[in-house]
Amino acid sequence: MTNRVTMADVARQAGVSLMTVSRVINDKEGVSRATRRRVLRVVEELGYRPSGIARGLATRRTGTLGFVVPDVANPFFADVTRGAERVAYAEGYNVFLCNTDEDSERELAVLHSLEEKRVDGLVLCSSRLADRELHEIVGRHPAVVLVNRRLGPEEDRRVGVVVVDDVAGGRMATQHLLDSGHRAIGFLTGPPASRSGRGRTEGYRAALASAGLSHDPAWVTPCPADVEGGHRGAKNLLEAHPELTALVCYNDLVAVGVLHACVELGRQVPDGLAVVGFDDILLAALVTPPLTTCRVPRCDLGAAAMRLLLSQIGDERDTDDWVDVADIADVDRASVPDRLSPTVRGRHRWPDRRPDRPRSTSTSTSASAASVRVSDAVGHDGGVPGPGAEIVLQPTLVVRASAP
């Protein structure tokens, strides 16, 4: 085994003191240009690498950040992580990516581990912890940003927040189906502990209420946030309630599971059942029929969360580099028809699609509302967001064949 090169080795070969080597390594003043060049040449020849542990003791920083997600296999969180890691890498940080498998006990264990590792900051995505547990954990980390989660009524204003407006997204997806003539609309709401699922459910109910329709609790059911969860949830819901003609889904993975269930049940999409997802992951455009879904700019979401975290730590150097975070877009694909088929409409005597709703002429359109700048976060007066800043992303729609 090769012995690790130490600072003492560099000092000995360069003929200088340990203090001089330390000053050169840390780019401090008090060293002549010639001596600095000589020390750096020896550093290169010996392949010396400073100890991160020793540097951490001196600076009280470790150069590491925690990034916690509930499901690393979910493409949504993979893209969010990619966006965050790119920003962290550019600022000289390493990221510990931690997966909780939608398990609150495992999430607690992960957060305790990151605390022990003395990470400089933490981004926590879609936490499944109760408010009391989350408050306790947040208080033990030097800087924290929550993604798709708020702390509740006793919110710690030191904590940054980046959220999707799930209420608006749920309402938009449901309104799209109402505009197509549907009235029997079910909802697979995702994990019971998901705040996003609760928000989207609230939006679903609000859209029905605005249309003068009562919400039937039997048409709303939770499910795991994956393909199998959508498959089982859709089969159970559609077998118990065959009158349903449309489903809003917690995310695109759940929606893909619904498509599989429809094949087994002999329900044609979109004529026999319209399907709307959420997130617009790559798979959403590749399945048959392609999914109508609410688009979330996932990489930008992760980048915004990481920049907000670095601003709390004090390492966000260039305020002009804050990215514009696009709105969620409602993407129009083939899983929802422009109007109900005659057989469905006749069976339930539902009216035609509202005459003031224009027909989509594109298989993939993206409505763009005003983008949200990170520096315009709630609770901040301008420039780089301070502690407690909040970024809210507003949804728009991408319509494809599963619900045109």
pLDDT of residue 3: 75
Q: Which one of 3.40.50.300, 3.40.50.2300, 3.90.550.10, 3.40.50.1000 gives the CATH number of domain 59-164?
A: 3.40.50.2300
Distance CA 278, CA 358 (A): 22
Once rounded to an integer, what is the mean pLDDT over residues 21-29?
A: 85
Closest CA to 274 of 288, 256, 292: 292
pLDDT of residue 323: 36
Using alpha carbons, list the distances in angstroms from residue 196 to 9, 105, 128, 182, 338.
Answer: 55, 20, 11, 24, 28
Once rounded to an integer, what is the mean pLDDT over residues 268-291?
A: 96
Once rounded to an integer, what is the mean pLDDT over residues 300-309?
A: 93
Statement: residue 274 has pLDDT above 70:
yes
What is the CATH architecture assignment of 166-297+319-372+394-402?
3-Layer(aba) Sandwich (3.40)
At residue 339 the predicted structure's pLDDT band, cuts being 50, 70 and 90, is low
Closest CA to 393 of 70, 148, 76: 148
Distance CA 290, CA 363 (A): 9
Statement: residue 316 has pLDDT above 90:
no
Here the tokens at position 403 are 């619900």
Strand partners, 187: 220, 248
Here the tokens at position 366 are 């993206």
Of the candidate ranges 125-134, 186-195, 317-326, the one whose mean pLDDT is the lowest: 317-326
Here the tokens at position 167 are 């209420």
Residue pLDDT, tens place only, 151-160: 865 555 678 9
pLDDT of residue 7: 87
Of the candidate ranges 123-127, 246-250, 320-324, the one whose mean pLDDT is the lowest: 320-324
Once rounded to an integer, what is the mean pLDDT over residues 266-286?
A: 96
Q: Give the CATH H-level superfamily of domain 7-50.
A: lambda repressor-like DNA-binding domains (1.10.260.40)
Let me know: does 54 contact 4? Beta carbons within 8 Å: no
Neighbours of 22 (CB within 10 A): 18
7-50 shares its CATH topology with 59-164: no
At residue 208 the predicted structure's pLDDT band, cuts being 50, 70 and 90, is very high
For the chain, how far is it from start to end, CA to CA, in angstroms? 64
pLDDT of residue 4: 82
HSE (CB half, 13 Å, CA atoms) of 273? 28
Once rounded to an integer, what is the mean pLDDT over residues 103-114?
A: 94
Strand partners, 293: 277, 398
Once rounded to an integer, what is the mean pLDDT over residues 88-114?
A: 94
At residue 131 the predicted structure's pLDDT band, cuts being 50, 70 and 90, is confident
Closest CA to 196 of 156, 154, 162: 162
Let me know: does 278 contact 200? Beta carbons within 8 Å: yes
Share of the chain above pLDDT 90, in %: 58
At residue 390 the predicted structure's pLDDT band, cuts being 50, 70 and 90, is confident
Statement: residue 353 has pLDDT above 50:
no
Strand partners, 274: 246
At residue 49 the predicted structure's pLDDT band, cuts being 50, 70 and 90, is confident
pLDDT of residue 23: 87
Distance CA 87, CA 83 (A): 7
Residue 140: CB partners within 8 Å, gap ≥ 6?
115
Top-confidence residue, 348 or 324: 324
Once rounded to an integer, what is the mean pLDDT over residues 154-173?
A: 85
Once rounded to an integer, what is the mean pLDDT over residues 385-402?
A: 79
Once rounded to an integer, what is the mean pLDDT over residues 160-186?
A: 95
Q: What average pLDDT does the structure give for the chain? A: 82
* pTM score of the predicted model: 0.74
pLDDT of residue 303: 93
At residue 369 the predicted structure's pLDDT band, cuts being 50, 70 and 90, is very low
Distance CA 181, CA 161 (A): 37
Statement: residue 319 has pLDDT above 70:
no
Statement: residue 397 has pLDDT above 80:
yes
At residue 52 the predicted structure's pLDDT band, cuts being 50, 70 and 90, is low
Enumerate the domain spans of the chain: 7-50, 59-164, 166-297+319-372+394-402
